[in-house]
């Protein structure tokens, strides 16, 4: 990617799709570019799937055109790199279009990466592998920006002492720890990552498995096939511990995976409004619980006496 200066004036993802009025103020304007002159973002982590939704998008573009301009940046060879609009470009190709409307913006690699990730994180359906790779790319870009003097148009002007993952978490409504857990998935071998995307292995066990060495992960797949079951969080944690202690082996993994999983604990929930009619209004939940437990003990003692007769 070309190392061009960030001469844009953006502060957040909300500014990506600017209005026509604001574009006029900044001198930006929409242009029509040939589809074959626009290249996908390098290492774009989000898949473009030719599914039913894509077919609907293509049909809409065939009838109405692309209603929201894509965002591209110029490359040194006179062509362009897509920042936001990969799906619209592909749907335009399916619709038989040769051009699409875009806004051309100059931006450096890290600014482009952050905008590319943010624009795609707005999608409703994102695979765990896509989220993992996107978070990793954004963290690395933000860390590089953090280490440089502040520039005009920089997307991350100040961290206020926060961790990069915490900043990202706040932006998307998740904890920084959860962002870190997604990034851990990048340590999975492709076979296990695919199983996570296909929901054959749950997210939490997958995070624990990400601490295994690649060769240990391949042995784990054999152990899973041997036991014909997927790992629970507890099993994955125990296999992780075996690895950390240098005791990991196919035989040990098979032993863990061959154990019968405990069924989930059954819970009995009684709504407070059901119980309230049996207690004075002044009783707290703790007082109600104490009375219930005392009555149950009395009932159990009476039942035991009757059985002894």
Which of 146, 142, 8 is CA-nearest to residue 74? 8
Average pLDDT of span 209-221: 96
Total residue count of the chain as it appears in this document = 309
pLDDT tens for 8-37 read: 333 334 444 455 544 444 457 899 999 999
- What are all long-range contacts of 250-256, with beta carbons under 8 Å and residues at least 24 apart? 250/219, 250/222, 250/223, 253/219, 253/220, 253/222, 253/223, 254/222, 254/223, 254/226, 254/227, 256/223
Q: Does the pLDDT at position 69 exceed 60?
A: yes
Can you tell me the distance from the alpha carbon of 222 to that of 253, in angstroms, rounded to the nearest whole number? 9
So where are the chain's domains?
Answer: 13-180, 188-257
Minimum mean pLDDT range among 25-39, 56-70, 131-145, 179-193: 25-39
pLDDT tens for 103-158 read: 999 999 999 999 999 998 888 789 999 999 999 999 999 988 876 655 544 444 45
Q: What is the CATH number of domain 13-180?
A: 3.90.1530.10
Token match 């100040």: residue? 158
pLDDT at position 94 is 95
CB-based burial label for 183 (10 Å; 0-12, 13-18, 19+): buried
Alpha carbon 41 to its chain centroid, in Å, reads 19
Q: Does the pLDDT at position 160 exceed 80?
A: no
Most confident of 14-28, 257-271, 283-297: 283-297
Q: What are the backbone dihedrals phi and psi of residue 5, each rounded to the nearest 5 degrees, phi first?
A: -70, 150
Does this model's pTM top 0.95? Answer: no
């Amino acid at each position: 990617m070309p190392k061009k200066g960030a001469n844009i004036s953006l502060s957040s993802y909300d500014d990506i799709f600017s209005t026509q009025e604001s574009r006029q103020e900044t001198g930006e304007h929409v242009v029509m570019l040939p589809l074959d002159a626009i290249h996908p973002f390098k290492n774009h982590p989000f898949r473009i799937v030719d599914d039913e939704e894509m077919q609907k998008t293509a049909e809409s573009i065939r009838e109405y055109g692309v209603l929201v301009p894509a965002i591209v940046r110029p490359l040194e060879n006179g062509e362009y790199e897509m920042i936001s609009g990969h799906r619209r470009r592909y749907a335009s190709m399916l619709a038989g279009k040769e051009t699409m409307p875009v806004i051309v913006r100059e931006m450096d690699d890290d600014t482009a990466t952050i905008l590319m990730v943010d624009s795609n994180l707005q999608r409703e359906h994102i695979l765990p592998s896509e989220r993992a790779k996107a978070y990793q790319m954004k963290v690395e870009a933000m860390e590089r920006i953090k280490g440089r003097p502040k520039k005009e148009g920089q997307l991350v002007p100040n961290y206020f002492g926060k961790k990069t993952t915490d900043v990202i978490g706040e932006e998307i409504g998740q904890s920084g720890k959860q962002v870190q857990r997604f990034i851990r998935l990048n340590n999975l071998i492709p076979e296990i990552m695919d199983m996570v995307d296909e929901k054959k292995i749950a997210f939490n066990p997958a995070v624990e498995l990400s601490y295994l060495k690649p060769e240990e992960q391949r042995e784990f797949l054999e152990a899973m096939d041997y036991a014909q079951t997927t790992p629970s969080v507890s099993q994955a944690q125990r296999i992780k511990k075996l690895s950390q202690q240098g005791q990991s082996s196919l035989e040990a993994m098979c032993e863990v995976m061959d154990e019968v999983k405990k069924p989930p604990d059954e819970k009995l929930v009684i709504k407070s409004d059901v119980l309230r009619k049996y207690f004075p209004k002044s009783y707290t939940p703790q007082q109600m619980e104490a009375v219930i437990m005392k009555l149950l003990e009395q009932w159990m003692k009476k039942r035991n006496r009757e059985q002894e007769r």
